[in-house]
Amino acid sequence: SNTASKKKRLMRLFLQTCCHRTSSRHRQPVCALLKSEKKSRKRKNPSIPEDLPAARMIGNLAKLSYVRGVTQSVASGLKVATVAVKAEGKPGAVAGQTQVVGSDLPRNVVRVSTGFSGPSQIRLAHTDIQTPDFSDYRRDQVKRANAKNSSADERAAFTYLMVGGACVTTAYVAKSMVSTFVSSMSASADVLAMAKIEIKLSDIPEGKSVTFKWRGKPLFIRHRTPAEISQEQAVATGTLRDPQTDAERVKNPEWLVVIGVCTHLGCVPIANAGDFGGYYCPCHGSHYDASGRIRKGPAPLNLEVPFYEFPEDNLVVVG
Would you name the residues annotated as active-site residues? 284
- DSSP code per residue over 87-128: --SS--PPPS----STTTS--S------------------S-
**Bridging pattern class, strands 255-259 and 270-271:** unpaired
In whole angstroms, what separates CA 231 from the centre of its chain? 81
How far apart are the C-alpha atoms of 46 and 92, rounded to whole Å? 8
Q: Which value, in Å, is the radius of gyration of the alpha carbons in the chain?
A: 70
The one-character DSSP state at 196 is -
Which residues have a Cβ under 8 Å from the Cβ of 109 and sit 6 or more positions away? 74
- DSSP string of 245-309, one letter each residue: -HHHH-SBTTEEEEE---TTTSPPPEET-STTSSEEETTTTEEE-TTS-EEESS--SPPP---EE
Backbone dihedral angles phi then psi of residue 130, each to the nearest 5 degrees? -95, 135
Confirm if 279 and 228 have CB atoms less than 8 A apart: no
The letter for the amino acid at 277 is G
